[in-house]
Amino acid sequence: MSRAPSPLIDGTDLPDGPVCVGLSGGLDSTVLLHALSQSPGVRDRGLRALHVHHGLHEQADAWATHCEQVCRAWGVPFTLRRVAVARSGIGPEAAARSARRAAFAADLRPGESLALAHHRDDQAETVLMRALRGAGPDGLAAMAVSTPFAAGRLWRPLLDVPRTALLEHARSHGLTWIDDPSNEDTVLDRNFLRRQVMPLLRQRWPHADTALARVATLAADAVELLDDGDAQAHAQVATADPQCLSRTGLLTLPAARRARVLRRWVASLHLPPLPGNGVARIESDLLQAAPDAEACFDWHRSRVRVWSDLLHAGTIREALPVGWRVEWNGAAPLPLPGGGELALHVTRGEARFDAPVHVGTRRGGERIALAGRDHSHALKHVLQDLGIPPWERERLPLVSDAEGQVLAAGDIAYAAPFDAWLRERGGRLRWRPDEAPFDAD
């Protein structure tokens, strides 16, 4: 790793690959871009700036123009990305942050590091805010200097630098930056901490920022030790399906470890973090539920539910519409209502049925004649015997011939004649339910 000559990041290991600076145009990101632009090593490996245009303020266009002009003056390639901020009940700050991170993730190139200008004051505010929300060691660990992100890494080289040093750097180099008026709105939690709480703390404890940042470091050290045990416990209760955990296995773990495993599992599935009462609800409503119960816990379009000895977690998906039915010739993948698709693949001949088939929802009472059996079976019992959970059965498309005989239940069960037809062509059906991952913050 090489070193940058700027005093702000002197002694900080630089990434080996190219760097993309998330440039808002404010003081912090402007100073970061300026400091990195002064390093020949960084420029040689590739330095660029990315501005995300949220369109939430009347001056948003002017801010984008300012960022482009700054980059032109410093000879740094500039990229502008416009995003639509979805108001999904998570608050304006969180919604904007989610849209911004999604834009960063989509734009980041393989092996590139996304440099963000979070500094020590930001770290202190984050620790305090998370403590007020009742966070444990994982939350108090706050922001890390470097973590994997999208196709590359997320890098925060200024995390140990106080904001006063950034302001001094900007003034000594004659930099200009944008002051976002929304940063003065103390209705927003972080602004309230920044404008009212932190100044008061510093009056009594001048080193409050350093102390709170130290809390993050100590919490991160503790989390690193806990993670090893969490990984072992997770492996003990995991199943062949990463979306399922063994309830019996979970109940053998100490409650504190079980809570950490549940959060780790949810994070591994790229679902939104469990809310504050999430673990308690899973403990009371799901882990103790009867095997035939239909208990579940929902949050942010995600769901944990019980089935037999299993807990299953995933995105909430609607069942196929009642009575839905379409004709399909197999030549192109068939989009399914609510997302996902059904596709025909063959290795010999043309990917097309001899005659169009019908694809639709289950209506109840269907039967299927499986290969190697001398009589038909109730489809309901076949799916139960195959261990297909109820939430998959709700979205399972049925393929039938013109007479209404069931040829296939998704790609899970084939009727004998259809199975033979596929074998002759080296073919198979592929059913892909839609499971879009959550972009965690």
Which pair of tokens denotes residue 127? 């620790």
Which pair of tokens denotes residue 337? 């209502």
Which pair of tokens denotes residue 312? 């299953």
Q: Which of 48, 44, 99, 55 is closest to 72 using CA atoms?
A: 48
Which pair of tokens denotes residue 129? 């805010």
d(CA 142, CA 122): 10
Which pair of tokens denotes residue 71? 């980059």
Backbone angles phi, psi at 351, to 5 degrees: -80, 80
Annotated binding residues, written as ranges, equal 24-29
Long-range contacts of 292-296 (CB under 8 A, 24+ apart): 294/390
Which pair of tokens denotes residue 64? 């984008």
Contact between 8 and 35 under an 8 Å Cβ cutoff? The reply is: yes
DSSP 308: T
Which pair of tokens denotes residue 120? 């020590």
Contact between 83 and 103 under an 8 Å Cβ cutoff? The reply is: yes
Strands 406-409 and 398-400: antiparallel
Measured between its terminal Cα atoms, the distance across the chain in Å is 28
- Output the CA torsion 27→33→38→41 (10° steps): 150
d(CA 103, CA 95): 12
Annotated binding residues for ATP, written as ranges, equal 24-29
Polymer length of the chain:
441
